[in-house]
Structure 1
């Protein structure tokens, strides 16, 4: 029987592990297995029943326990053990790890089904650089961890790239680097994250910072490889029973994204860049004159210098262009407009702060301790050593001073870092050892600075580069310098969906595109219409062509305004998605396979997506497109929010495309909250709440929960959760609204019920009949409601 079981294992896994690696002995150190082999020691432990960690320490090396990504504690999670002469097995209710002693093999299973196994495990080999990084990853040899994988599974992860949703077949560099003007394919971008996600609902996270590669079966041998120049040979295997469960487990391991300030969900005024205080004030005034909502203005590098080159690192207000900076910020704050200035980690040798940086020893150094300097586009420069305590303190004091001037957030640009020669040294290691975690630690110092000095303010931290777990520092990532073309737009859904799977749920793009002087109003409008259903709505571009709708043609401006107004009306729904993400890790933008995890066709689909649970969105990504093929997930029926045409779940329809909006559908049978459009979120009152319901007699019950608070206080003591339920019973539709607050803050507004084929007999709110309007042609019922206590019940007799 043992021989039969062993042969079955070999059939399933294909290959045994490194033939030179033999089992010697093992012992249990509390809840951790320590297993000695001929060439090193394995340390294996569970974090919980769905997360396990394996580390290999070669002979002659010491175990490095420092992780830059993991925050979850192991807590000595219990598991079952089975040992005999042939194998050792560690097993929770969900995740199993089996070590075959001879020939040596480590096998991982989820609910007794094998998911992957170490093939050669850890070994060293000659470095074969990818063409993309030949000048960046320059080493004779690398260290590799190799696995067997299933022949049919799709693979996601590796950070932000444009490769197609299934990234299997690619060897990917792990070296954060900007890709200026990218379009339909980008193999290397600002976020390279050492994580692989399988369509079989498991993840492997390689918990090591130095640069390297991920090989997602590029040789078509059913092999997954992690390759690095140095560091920890540690990885975590994470499993989930659903996609939501899997991402929740990963963000339990690496940290949840804090709830951002509510204004961050509004519209941004942004470009490269506003040259003066006068220009910034006139821009915000024009938004107000045009009645286009806006919540923030971003100041690019002209706030600290007149020229693009030669001034980086000044990091103090350039009074010639911004003479009353503090008053401008204060005036904007009174209008509900947050000011967000750009910062970079480079101090040019021509900067006003160069000598201060040298004297205070806050810069990365060369091998003998002198400031390491080099040339790049902006000038001759050094880079702040954010891994050194003095460097962190110095940099934070810049932000502290800006915060004291009233600015509302932080923009960290060029944090890959843009140029970071391998010869540079930091307190945290060589440039290549810390390159990929530079942006991560930069966000950390800002986040922790706010926690210490401004504990009631939720930080807004816009960053172009990060690492595994950067979401826990409130990082808001964006997809870099995308070309201002249809090709540039085409990959943006993929980037956001992939990054959401990897924990960074606020990935978004420069709406309208960044690079180039392409004036294409149709492209601009389509990009902004797509942006309505993005975590962040931020048009931004080089100044050759305006990024702000107020400076576009009347046609484009009017359509952009409609898109922005829809964005603001959805604030209760969107803010609730942000809250849900902060609690569960579930992204705001979700692949369609969240709805149908067993639908093979959806595993590679990125032309449409779910916005939260209840909106189905299909952006228009081609010029002059008149029709669009839409797949409607089968678990619900869906209704076009503009035409109120109903579509059956599980069907594929070719629909006509409208100029005024992109195809957008809502799930039938659930309540969707809206609010009145305001000029800024400062004017938003969450007591005003309209509810929309697309009636479907097949949906006999539903429940949704919506979150409300004061919007910008991380010490919020009295947040509100409003539970909204529907039920159809005995020819009546029941709607209940219940607040967790007593007394509640109350709600009032209008309820809109669509697709109601006949006029109802009556509408009762808390037992009292109320007036209602029924449009026979539109098949729509509307009535006002006022919720004065913590609970209200509505009965509609059909």
Structure 2
């Protein structure tokens, strides 16, 4: 990572749910999808707009709108006001697609040609190359992003205005480049010399534009291709137009592990599959399993499919998780993602600071275990969480391999002692809802967010307008001392690169008949930070909890959950394995030491 560069911290919203399809046709189309997601209490952080935002495509014609890179105001009027309203009223962002091809009849083509900013036709290499086959997109030229001045021109004259309108990310497609001629000439050389490097140059041009305009907004780029080092510009990768088959999900899981080893932490897919015509089984079951995977491992988590001609043929596919798949399962998996968001976000900061992987294969941390060296169906989230894939019609349970040690089922808190062995079968259904097997290593410290029906987005916006200054910590107790650093920032700007970050170290250790959990006094500050928080600590142990004290003061034990929730502080025994305590509202700059006194052995 020191050679190719460490990844930037993505905008916090990218760790939430994003929804897209090819293609939303207008603002009411987006608003209708959002409306039903809200009706079903899904938090959501954004939508991606495909080609209709700039006017759509005119296949096999010079009059296609691809390359216009400007709003079609007949479909998407008053974009800056609409994006402002989306952000402030609904808490969602908008990301726009862009491609490198330009319809020959567009004025943009003429201007780019005059500037020498189109890939050239050889052998004379004086005129723009004319890309006419395949022509599903239209016909015309290709922007030469290997020419730095051309990349700057596009940003200055097209993209910057979109950023000022309020878009929060850039979705790059076809940048391998997909449609090419081997004889074309680029500023960077021949086609064989620029393949994949072409998309690197495109991404770099966006990053350079943000720098030149001194933008405080974090860059985020979702790209289909690139090469080593794109992560240092704020780029994530998605796997392209995947088939709608279980085999695609299996491959996605394994591919993500390999991408992690190459330095790409943020790697996603078209959740549910892009090519629905290739479906090999029950769509609802496929989507439910794929969505569960995406909510654990993809940044952003983004369902997507090909609906471009669906209104013409009268058969449109759904992508939003309240409209396809098993809705209760999709909702639970979405809320799990949002619950774990402080953990993911802290991992993102560590990736930026130290080059630590966010979602590595097991071999990264268990290199001495020969059983995991070729394992492509289980992965880690950070060091502490392990998830196993289920991608098979009718599969309701599976065996899970656990490296040597004690592991806890994250969903049930059940402990498992492993010598490095397979355990199970582990059910994928809990109360009739599908979720992937997920385990936490003994000693894990997992910061979690408070999520309920009123949660609108990952930034804390709520439908009831009630501020919830609660930080939750899940502790899987261990005799071996462990720690985790919680990172917080404003979630939107590049100020974190200048130190505008709040850091809280969380430690745990079991000593004989007690578990001590310590939250250090928070260090650092950032714009919009809250200074008063109620800290909730859930302790999962091999022994029952007898009582709990905070900073030397014994907390009141509550006998029922209603009493506990109405009180600002205290503790409650959730089961013989789990206790939940909360501090009451205190300053984040005050150190907090919880002592959980243990009773009988329950393991």
TM bucket by the smaller chain? 0.7 to 0.9
* Aligned equivalent of 1:741: 523
Matches within 5 A, 1:63-462: 251-307=1-57, 309=59, 310-334=64-88, 335-367=90-122, 368=124, 369-375=126-132, 376-377=134-135, 378-397=137-156, 398-462=158-222
* Aligned equivalent of 2:421: 651
Give the deviation of 1:769 after TM superposition.
1.2
How far apart, CA to CA, are the structure 1 residues paired with 2:534 and 2:575?
27
Conserved 8 A contact 1:690-1:751 = yes
How far apart, CA to CA, are the structure 1 residues paired with 2:149 and 2:543?
69
Normalising by the residue count of structure 1, what TM-score does the alignment of the two structures yield? 0.66
1:541 to 305, 316, 325: 305
* Aligned equivalent of 2:293: 530
How far apart, CA to CA, are the structure 2 residues paired with 1:308 and 1:297?
24
Normalising by the residue count of structure 2, what TM-score does the alignment of the two structures yield? 0.86
Conserved 8 A contact 2:98-2:170 = yes
2:353 to 576, 583, 586: 583
Matches within 5 A, 1:689-700: 689-696=471-478, 699-700=479-480
Conserved 8 A contact 1:759-1:774 = no
How far apart, CA to CA, are the structure 2 residues paired with 1:742 and 1:461?
28
Q: Aligned to 2:139, what secondary structure does the other structure show?
A: strand
Give the deviation of 1:308 after TM superposition.
5.3
Conserved 8 A contact 2:518-2:592 = yes
Larger relative contact order (CA 8 Å, sep ≥ 6): 2
Give the deviation of 1:714 after TM superposition.
0.3
Give the deviation of 1:730 after TM superposition.
4.1
Instruction: Provide the alpha-carbon RMSD of the alignment.
Output: 2.0
How far apart, CA to CA, are the structure 1 residues paired with 2:112 and 2:227?
27
Conserved 8 A contact 1:759-1:776 = no
* Aligned equivalent of 2:573: 775
Q: Give per-residue Cα distances to partners, 1:545-573, cap 9 Å, x unaligned.
A: 211113226xx122111111111111110
Give the deviation of 1:758 after TM superposition.
2.7
Higher helix fraction (1 or 2): 2
* Aligned equivalent of 1:681: 458
* Aligned equivalent of 2:564: none
Number of equivalences: 542
Conserved 8 A contact 1:618-1:664 = yes
Give the deviation of 1:316 after TM superposition.
1.3
Q: Give per-residue Cα distances to partners, 1:682-701, cap 9 Å, x unaligned.
A: 326794211112334xx331
How far apart, CA to CA, are the structure 2 residues paired with 1:276 and 1:253?
44
| Structure 2 runs not aligned, ≥5 long | 308-315, 462-466, 558-570, 599-603
Cα separation, partners in 2 of 1:345 and 1:754, compared to 1, 3 Å: same
Question: Would you say 1:615 and 2:385 are equivalent positions?
Answer: yes
Give the deviation of 1:454 after TM superposition.
4.3
Give the deviation of 1:451 after TM superposition.
1.9
Question: Would you say 1:712 and 2:484 are equivalent positions?
Answer: no
How far apart, CA to CA, are the structure 2 residues paired with 1:708 and 1:505?
19
How far apart, CA to CA, are the structure 2 residues paired with 1:325 and 1:455?
20
Question: Would you say 1:552 and 2:324 are equivalent positions?
Answer: yes
**Which structure is larger by alpha-carbon Rg, 1 or 2?**
1
Conserved 8 A contact 2:542-2:577 = yes
How far apart, CA to CA, are the structure 2 residues paired with 1:328 and 1:742?
35
Give the deviation of 1:740 after TM superposition.
4.4
Cα separation, partners in 2 of 1:681 and 1:524, compared to 1, 3 Å: same
Question: Would you say 1:489 and 2:246 are equivalent positions?
Answer: no
Q: Aligned to 1:331, what secondary structure does the other structure show?
A: helix
How far apart, CA to CA, are the structure 2 residues paired with 1:527 and 1:715?
35
User: 747-756 or 478-487, which moves further after superposition?
Assistant: 747-756
Conserved 8 A contact 2:146-2:186 = yes
Q: Aligned to 1:402, what secondary structure does the other structure show?
A: helix
Give the deviation of 1:357 after TM superposition.
2.1
1:639 to 392, 401, 408: 408
| Structure 1 runs not aligned, ≥5 long | 1-250
* Aligned equivalent of 1:112: none
Give the deviation of 1:297 after TM superposition.
0.7
Conserved 8 A contact 2:500-2:524 = no
* Aligned equivalent of 1:209: none
* Aligned equivalent of 2:536: 750
